[in-house]
Amino acid sequence: MTARCAQRCILPPGLLHRLARSEEAALREAALNALALDGRFRLARAESAASSLRLSRPVTFARAGGQPQRTIYDQQGSESQTPGAVVRVEGQAPCGDQAVNQAYDGLGATYSFYWTVFERDSIDGAGMPLLGLMHYGRRYPNAFWDGAGHMFFGDGDGRILTQTAAGIDVIGHELTHGVTQHEANLTYSGQSGALNESVSDVFGIQVKQHALGQDVHSSDWLIGADIAGPVLRPALRSMKQPGTANPHDDQPADMNDYVPGGDVHINSGIPNRAFYVVATTLGGHAWDAAGPIWYAALADSQLRPNATFRDFARITLRHAQQTYGAASDQAHAVQQGWEAVKVAL
């Protein structure tokens, strides 16, 4: 089995492997511990993915939508997949644990974005409860969606990552893996896997922009800036300039530097930058047009699980043309975005 973090971690295994070779003992130990813990979920997540089918948008008659159903659990350093003690539920006032409150707010911001912009009622479109498992592991420098309805938050080791619940875009990124699972079930390898990761960055950054009221020009377009520790500052990834987010960032910015067989987190920089170009070319808010075009492409029945960058690009262009017109600014912007990263349409 590969070293892929099959449960969709925010911090890729390739980076952890590099940090595990550090001369700094504490950094090396933190990376090795994270890799060991990540590996425990691979088989279960792979089995879950193998049994998943692309799901149609569910229809529910018992729920009007518009209100999340959040429950936050305290794992108290445990590595168990079973939720621990309940520390905050929907509607309760903030508690004395800042990380719990940050997770509660981030889950709410993600729900609010999807409901307000797309009228999507939670991850599955049918009001799926949002479950956050806090203080997972001991100083665990990662966060992930497990594919079964839970988001796990590590407290960070202080060097690689800090408290992961502080990243609204990180929470949006991880929960979007659930949206992708229900809409397209993109295979988590090759270009389809890079698209899977990119889609999470695309909507994760919009969740943050939406929560902070940022337009495309006031946003920094950095993923994980609020949780990056000293080793990875200023951020985990840059959608504006892939490959420049931190000293270890090796993402290519276009197909000229595409890495054959590369980790899905590496090549995701290419479609990330395509979206950035589309959104900033159009101006305003990313969710005005660019976001809906990407969302429509993700939900398109013609998007295959093993889709390539070119497949996805063509679907985004078709939706831009159908929605706004073949000669529209939106269609031209989509063309410019994919041309900028040298993906042929």
Is there a contact between 25 and 157 (Cβ–Cβ < 8 Å)?
A: no
Q: Which of 160, 280, 156 is nearest to 209 (CA)?
A: 280
Is the model's pLDDT at 218 over the cut of 60?
Answer: yes
Question: Could you give the number of structural domains in the chain?
Answer: 2
* The pLDDT value given to residue 152: 96
Is there a contact between 255 and 343 (Cβ–Cβ < 8 Å)?
A: yes
Asked if residue 336 and residue 194 are part of one domain, the reply reads yes
Measured CA to CA, the distance from residue 231 to residue 53 in angstroms comes to: 39
Asked if residue 76 and residue 215 are part of one domain, the reply reads no
pLDDT (mean) for 321-327: 98
* The pLDDT value given to residue 110: 98
User: What are the pLDDT digits (tens) for 190-207?
Assistant: 999 999 999 999 999 999
To 10 degrees, the CA torsion angle through 24, 25, 31, 32?
140
Label the pairing between strands 70-74 and 130-134: parallel
| pLDDT, the chain, mean | 91
pLDDT band at 7 (very low <50, low <70, confident <90, very high): low
Q: What percent of the chain is predicted at pLDDT more than 70?
A: 91
Asked if residue 215 and residue 151 are part of one domain, the reply reads no
Determine the structural domain holding residue 74 and report its residue range.
53-183
Give the torsion sign (CA, 269, 271, 272, 278): positive
Q: For residue 237, which phi and psi values (nearest 5 degrees)?
A: -150, 155
* The pLDDT value given to residue 57: 46
Asked if residue 166 and residue 209 are part of one domain, the reply reads no
Which is catalytic among the residues 135, 173, 210, 265?
Answer: 265
Q: Give the type of residue at 49.
A: A
* The pLDDT value given to residue 290: 98
Q: Is residue 331 part of a domain?
A: yes
Where among 126, 151, 183 does a domain terminate? 183
Per the structure block, which two tokens stand in for 120?
């999507």
DSSP state letter for 268: T
* The pLDDT value given to residue 191: 97
CATH number at residue 241: 1.10.390.10
DSSP state letter for 130: E
Q: What percent of the chain is predicted at pLDDT more than 90?
A: 79
Q: Which of 175, 196, 203, 178 is nearest to 307 (CA)?
A: 196
User: What are the pLDDT digits (tens) for 41-88?
Assistant: 655 554 444 444 444 444 445 567 899 999 999 999 999 989 999 999
Q: Is residue 15 part of a domain?
A: no
Say what the pTM is.
0.92
Asked if residue 326 and residue 204 are part of one domain, the reply reads yes
pLDDT band at 318 (very low <50, low <70, confident <90, very high): very high
Is the model's pLDDT at 283 over the cut of 90?
Answer: yes
Asked if residue 247 and residue 131 are part of one domain, the reply reads no
pLDDT (mean) for 266-288: 98
- CA atoms lying within 13 Å on the CB side of residue 231: 23
Where among 154, 183, 212 does a domain terminate? 183
Asked if residue 275 and residue 209 are part of one domain, the reply reads yes
User: What are the pLDDT digits (tens) for 136-178?
Assistant: 999 999 999 988 889 999 999 999 999 999 999 999 999 999 9
pLDDT band at 226 (very low <50, low <70, confident <90, very high): very high
Which is catalytic among the residues 150, 173, 174, 319?
Answer: 174
Burial of 132 (0-12, 13-18, 19+ CB in 10 A): buried
Burial of 55 (0-12, 13-18, 19+ CB in 10 A): middle
Establish whether 265 is a catalytic residue: yes
pLDDT (mean) for 25-44: 77
Q: Give the type of residue at 248.
A: H
Measured CA to CA, the distance from residue 180 to residue 159 in angstroms comes to: 31
| 136 sits in which H/E element | none
Q: Is residue 225 part of a domain?
A: yes
* The pLDDT value given to residue 13: 83
Is the model's pLDDT at 269 over the cut of 90?
Answer: yes
Q: Which of 334, 310, 309 is nearest to 321 (CA)?
A: 334
Q: Is residue 273 part of a domain?
A: yes
DSSP state letter for 165: G
Asked if residue 197 and residue 178 are part of one domain, the reply reads no
* The pLDDT value given to residue 81: 86
Is there a contact between 177 and 196 (Cβ–Cβ < 8 Å)?
A: yes
Is the model's pLDDT at 315 over the cut of 90?
Answer: yes
Measured CA to CA, the distance from residue 268 to residue 271 in angstroms comes to: 6
User: For tokens 């969606």, what's the residue?
Assistant: 145
Where among 158, 183, 208 does a domain terminate? 183
Q: Is residue 211 part of a domain?
A: yes
